[in-house]
Amino acid sequence: MRFDWRSFLRPDYLIWLVLFTALAVFSPGQSPLVITILILIGAVQVFEPRIGARLAIVIDLLLCYPLIFLSQPWPFGIRSSYWVMLLLPVISAAANFSLLGTAVVAVIACLLDLSFLAFIWQHNAMFAGDPTEPQYVILPDEQLELALRMLSVLLVSYLTHQLAKAKREEAIKYQRAAAELADANRNLKEAEAQVRRSERLAALGQLTAGLAHELRNPMGTMKTSAEMLARSVEKENDVAREMAGFIREEVDRTNSLITRFLDFARPQSLRRETGDLSAMLDRAIERFEREKIGAASSITVYKNYDPAIPPLAFDSELMERVVANLLTNAAQASPSGAVVTVKTRLIENNVEIAVIDRGSGIDPKNLESIFNPFFTTKPEGTGLGLAICSKIVDEHGGHIAVESTLGEGSVFRVILPAAMS
């Protein structure tokens, strides 16, 4: 992997470099070893984001001990000004750890600083009575300074932790606000898509209603003429009779299509009755079982109902039609012998009916269009099934959504308000 020097050209790195360079410059008379330790501590601060806070704190504590001892050997580092370097691991712990972790690091730093007193006591004990070796005494003002150092370390650790905690809480609050804003934006986009779909459905519904009514009369005339033709031609004229039969069949098929157009176009008159959602789904599955043909005949329907769903007020006949249509689509998209699942669950103030298949899935470019009237990918489809389903669900105060992965299957979700209970 190519090394990128630009990753080190950061303002905070430059600040650390300037600070520790100044420490080295304004440390006259210090040994090269002390200067080297200072440089190493500075390097730890620069590389802390890469090596992690835990390792950086341990290294800082290990380096601060010889730094304090060597910078003021007599009396054993207790008067060294470099005790302030112990604040570096303390501040780092306060910024990254909990209050307990911060307190542990602060206490360790204080103990490291106080441990130099043990050298003094040991020296005085070893050379007691020896006039050639001096006895070191910690004067009252030095004791006060030492106590203030300990309090300073503890105070800095606590205040830094409080500031870091407040900053983390503020960051969490902003993250939550951003997540809520993203959810609201997504819901707004879904609502806009539903509004656009409803507008398209309304416009196409009006056009379809007018066109269907205009077609009904000539279709009736064509069927009557074909029947009269079939009765008037001679029995030996098989061709004419066959053509008349074709005309009747095509007129009937067209009339059926016109009826579906009108079902889509006309306002649905809902006959709401309070009933059990599971019982309605059972009837819809039975209807699907009766009507399935071809490859769909080998499809098995698995039921997964939530018993906590209360009775709802809905049009049973229309909702059966919706579920049966979704089951038919799922069966047509599934391989022979597959399982289609009908699942219900209570989600806050909504009831969800999910029809799940593991079939061919839907091309992502078609997901926006599958609920549009006359859109279909089936050779013999009319493109009205899902449009009518969507309209029925909308008139119940709910909405229908789909999740699909090409080659893995689809999930159609019918969301109904629980307030229908």
The pLDDT confidence band at residue 159, using thresholds 50, 70 and 90, is very high
CATH code for residues 273-420: 3.30.565.10
Which pairing describes strands 339-347 and 350-357: parallel, antiparallel, or unpaired? Answer: antiparallel
Percent of the chain with pLDDT over 70: 83
62 phi/psi in degrees, rounded to 5: -65, -35
The Cα 357–Cα 340 span in angstroms is 5
Over residues 237-260, the mean pLDDT reads 75
3-state secondary structure 241-288: HHHHHHHHHHHHHHHHHHHHHHHHHCCCCCCCEEECHHHHHHHHHHHH
CB 358 within 8 A of CB 341: no
The reported pLDDT for the residue numbered 267 is: 59
Instruction: For 360-411, write each residue's pLDDT tens digit.
Output: 888 888 887 788 777 777 766 666 778 888 888 888 888 898 999 888 899 9
The reported pLDDT for the residue numbered 1 is: 45
pTM of the entire structure?
0.47
Looking at domain 187-265, which of 3.40.50.150, 1.10.287.130, 3.40.50.300, 3.90.600.10 is its CATH number?
Answer: 1.10.287.130
Instruction: For 291-340, write each residue's pLDDT tens digit.
Output: 766 556 678 899 999 988 888 888 888 899 899 989 988 988 888 888 99
Domain ranges of the chain: 5-138, 187-265, 273-420
The reported pLDDT for the residue numbered 337 is: 84
Q: Which residue has the higher pLDDT, 73 or 108?
A: 108
Dump the DSSP string for 79-135. Answer: T-GGGGGGHHHHHHHHHHS-HHHHHHHHHHHHHHHHTHHHHHHHHHHHTTT-TTSPP
Is pLDDT of 421 > 70?
A: no
Instruction: For 65-93, write each residue's pLDDT tens digit.
Output: 888 888 876 666 777 888 888 888 999 99
- Secondary structure class of 72 (helix, strand, coil): coil
The reported pLDDT for the residue numbered 219 is: 76
Average pLDDT over all residues of the chain:
81
CB 262 within 8 A of CB 254: no
